[in-house]
């Protein structure tokens, strides 16, 4: 099915199942421990062996020698794979570094060996007996130092945040110089780890030249393609199965070392092998969100009109990698005739930087939305009013191109009313509650909408419906919204729909990432269901144009037949997209409001309450959508207050590579959270009239926290995370009395 004209009225608009707050149909499996996650697939391979991956002990250089004798002689050891016996390997298109290192080492904890043994403990013990001599080389580990000579670089996050090396609209330099009120500030965000609950894990088994991997992956077709290119075997010989993913956040978009090393180990040991990357290797061996150094300049008229806006960002990655596209939202979020955005990319020998939830916008808005608040203060304007004044209904660089839907102002104004914004003190450090300084903060939320081709297969048999697609559920509720879509299209209750996901033998879907999954995957199911409706109508003797599917019945022209009488029928189709997204800018918008408290004596920061107001097209399942948004808000709190991968600039690795030292928010850190969805449909995105919402919840919330802290204390911290030692000595003197 080709989607190239805006959607009209269709069966989804009945909203008998779609749009209802629905419990997740996979909930019982997850709460009873029967959901088949990768490492616990006891049903797929009898008596698997255990693999333990050894990571490189240097960040840059070569392996001079490896002594495997003691490891080979250890109890229970079945095989050891290194670069010396792995055979010729390629590299996937979406991998920056090789997934098996040696003799050259590209980054710290790059996989250099896997030990296979009868038990996990035996494999781990033997891996500790491997003796590796390295020839260490000088590496580049300091982002600030490398950015001094880094070239301009344009690229895409792979999740819709594309940006050129430099983009100019109007004459920024002239307008900025002439502006009566200006701001020129630098902001930094550190490296972040995905820190998902489920580690990267895989069971691999060979049957002749056919390979099956049961793994934890967000994008099944991408994994098949890159695994084929890495192992140099045909795609047709690979099956990837990932029905449940225990968190990904972008860290499992791409093929990683657990899959490749398990496959190599299984081939060498001639036995199924299971591998889970230990937590330190997840931080250093897989991917992370790169650190950024951002400069934002704003020029305004005295009435608050933005006349000049520039956003420049620098980040780093391994050779061949790409930048963190932190400037992308600045091209679209606010009006302004004179604009400049630019990115620089430094070459670093740190582990690979890549997509993490809302790549580009998430760290970019941490800077931009703090700068907007700072300019509002210079102007003597309320921060909400300043944002509203500079709203635009068109692409600032292409005024002829309107937004398909843009309700940012409504999000801001609705949020201000709900949150009690009128009680905010315009003067910082004026509100106290005992020993606590209290402040309110706001930030806009923005994330572009992305449509991805997505296919599905739908069968009906005896009135029951089965949906098959390689779409994944990464904890987001894909099973449920896909079932809701099929139930709505075919007029059956949710209980009559079976959903099968995550298997590469199923039709290729959009996969999960970039907040494109819900709209795209359900649109693919819509296409397959529309085709099946035609087949059912023909089988039952109806005119498909007039037929209605409802309450398990198929009816038209006063005649009604049970769906079950259609027998066994199936249909497969994909939703493909025309150029509607080029004609109108498709984006999602929102507003974040935060109340923060800072202890006057200790500098301790607590977030007290949070509100997100979102305008993101039709909300397919408000219950799971709310879960997505509050999860994103929680990640935003982590980014604002605690998350930071600390770089050892001498040896080139992330020091705090476990969950004991890489701090993430826990329940005690997260207060009352409220989410409001505006009633919206966007017919330009798909027949579902939906857009993504999962990543919108993180875009801007870090800045809202930072702005609330400033309002509480009068101390502006521009280097994330905002930890107490960065403002403790600067707290108001009266607060220390």
Q: Would you please indicate which residues are annotated as catalytic (active-site) residues?
A: 695
Whose structure tokens read 């004798």?
69
d(CA 434, CA 432): 6
β-pairing, 672-677 vs 605-615, is: parallel
d(CA 168, CA 156): 18
Mention every residue, 6+ apart, whose C-beta is less than 8 A from residue 192: 288, 289, 356, 639, 643, 644, 645
d(CA 55, CA 285): 8
Mention every residue, 6+ apart, whose C-beta is less than 8 A from residue 666: none
Q: How far from the centroid of its chain's Cα atoms is residue 705's Cα?
A: 20
Whose structure tokens read 């890159």?
226
Q: Which is nearest to 448 in space by CA: 699, 140, 187?
A: 699
d(CA 262, CA 281): 15
Name 673's bridge partners.
Answer: 610
Mention every residue, 6+ apart, whose C-beta is less than 8 A from residue 517: 471, 472, 476, 478, 510, 511, 692, 694
Q: Which is nearest to 344 in space by CA: 320, 367, 324?
A: 324
d(CA 212, CA 222): 15
Q: Which is nearest to 75 in space by CA: 130, 119, 112?
A: 119
Name 569's bridge partners.
Answer: 460
- The answer to whether 708 touches 594, Cβ cutoff 8 Å, is yes
**Cis peptide before 432, with omega less than 30 degrees from 0?**
no
Collapse the DSSP code of 349 into the 3-class scheme (helix H, G, I; strand E, B; otherwise coil) and give the result. coil
| Nearest-10 crossing angle of helices 220-231, 257-269 | 50
Mention every residue, 6+ apart, whose C-beta is less than 8 A from residue 282: 193, 194, 199, 200, 251, 657
């Amino acid at each position: 099915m080709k989607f190239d004209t805006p959607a009209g009225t269709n069966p989804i608009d009945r909203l008998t199942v779609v749009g209802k707050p629905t419990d997740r149909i996979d909930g019982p499996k997850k709460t009873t421990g029967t959901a088949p996650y990768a490492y616990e697939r006891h049903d797929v391979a009898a008596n698997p062996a255990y693999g333990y991956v050894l990571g490189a002990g240097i960040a840059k250089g070569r392996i001079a020698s490896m002594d495997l004798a003691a490891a080979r002689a250890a109890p229970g050891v079945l095989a050891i794979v290194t670069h010396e016996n792995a055979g010729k390997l390629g590299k996937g298109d979406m991998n920056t570094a090789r997934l098996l290192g040696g003799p050259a080492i590209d980054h710290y904890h790059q996989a250099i060996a896997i030990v296979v043994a009868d038990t996990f403990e035996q494999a781990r013990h033997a891996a500790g007996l491997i003796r590796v001599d390295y020839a260490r080389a000088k590496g580049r580990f300091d982002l600030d130092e490398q950015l001094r000579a880094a070239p301009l670089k344009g690229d895409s996050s792979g999740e819709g945040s594309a940006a050129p090396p430099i983009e100019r609209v109007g004459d920024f330099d002239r307008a900025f110089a002439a502006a009566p009120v200006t701001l020129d500030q630098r902001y930094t965000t550190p490296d972040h780890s995905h820190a998902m609950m489920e580690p990267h894990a895989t069971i691999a088994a060979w049957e002749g030249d056919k390979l099956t991997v049961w793994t934890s992956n967000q994008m099944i077709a991408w994994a098949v393609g890159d695994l084929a290119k890495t192992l140099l075997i045909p795609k047709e010989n690979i099956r990837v199965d990932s029905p449940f993913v225990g968190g990904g956040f972008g860290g499992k978009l791409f093929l990683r070392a657990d899959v490749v090393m398990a496959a190599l180990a299984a081939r060498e040991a001639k036995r199924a092998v299971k591998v889970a990357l230990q937590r330190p290797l997840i931080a250093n061996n897989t991917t992370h969100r790169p650190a950024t150094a951002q400069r934002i300049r704003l020029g305004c008229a005295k009435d608050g009109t933005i006349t000049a806006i520039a956003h420049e960002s620098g980040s780093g990655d391994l050779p061949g990698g790409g930048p963190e596209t932190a400037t992308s939202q600045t091209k679209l979020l606010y009006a302004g005739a004179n604009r400049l955005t630019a990115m620089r990319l430094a070459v670093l020998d740190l582990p690979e930087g890549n997509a993490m939830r809302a790549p580009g916008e998430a760290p970019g808005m941490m800077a931009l939305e703090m700068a907007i608040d700072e300019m509002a203060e210079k102007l003597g304007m309320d921060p909400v009013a300043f944002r509203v004044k500079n709203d635009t209904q068109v692409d600032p660089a292409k005024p002829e191109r309107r937004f398909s839907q843009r309700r940012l102002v409504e999000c801001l104004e609705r949020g201000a009313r709900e949150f009690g914004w009128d009680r905010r003190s315009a003067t910082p450090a004026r509100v106290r509650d005992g020993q606590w300084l209290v402040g309110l903060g706001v930030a806009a939320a923005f994330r572009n909408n992305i449509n991805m081709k997505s296919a599905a297969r739908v069968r009906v048999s005896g009135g029951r419906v089965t949906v098959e697609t390689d779409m994944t559920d990464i904890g987001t509720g894909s099973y449920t919204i896909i079932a809701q879509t099929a139930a709505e299209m075919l007029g059956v209750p949710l209980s009559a729909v079976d959903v099968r996901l995550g298997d590469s033998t199923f039709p290729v879907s959009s996969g999960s990432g970039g907040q494109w999954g819900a709209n795209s995957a359900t649109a693919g199911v819509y296409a397959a269901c529309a085709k099946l409706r035609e087949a059912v109508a023909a089988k039952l003797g109806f005119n498909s144009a007039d037929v209605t599917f409802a309450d398990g019945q198929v009816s038209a022209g006063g005649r009604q037949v049970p769906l079950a009488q259609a027998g066994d029928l199936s249909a497969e189709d994909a939703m493909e997209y025309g150029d509607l997204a080029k004609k109108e800018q498709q984006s999602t918008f929102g507003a974040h409001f935060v109340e923060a408290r800072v202890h006057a004596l200790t500098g301790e920061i607590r977030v007290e309450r949070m509100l997100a107001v979102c305008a993101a097209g039709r909300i397919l399942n408000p219950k799971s959508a709310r879960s997505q948004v509050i999860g994103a808000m929680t990640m935003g709190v982590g980014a604002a207050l605690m998350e930071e991968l600390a770089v050892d600039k001498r040896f080139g690795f992330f020091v705090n590579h476990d969950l004991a030292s890489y701090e993430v928010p826990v329940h005690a850190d997260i207060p009352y959270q409220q989410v409001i969805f505006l009633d919206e449909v966007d017919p330009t995105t798909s027949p579902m009239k939906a857009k993504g919402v999962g990543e919108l919840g993180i875009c801007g919330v870090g800045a809202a926290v930072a702005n609330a802290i400033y309002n509480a204390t009068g101390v502006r911290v521009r280097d994330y995370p905002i930890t107490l030692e960065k403002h403790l000595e600067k707290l108001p003197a009266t607060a220390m009395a």
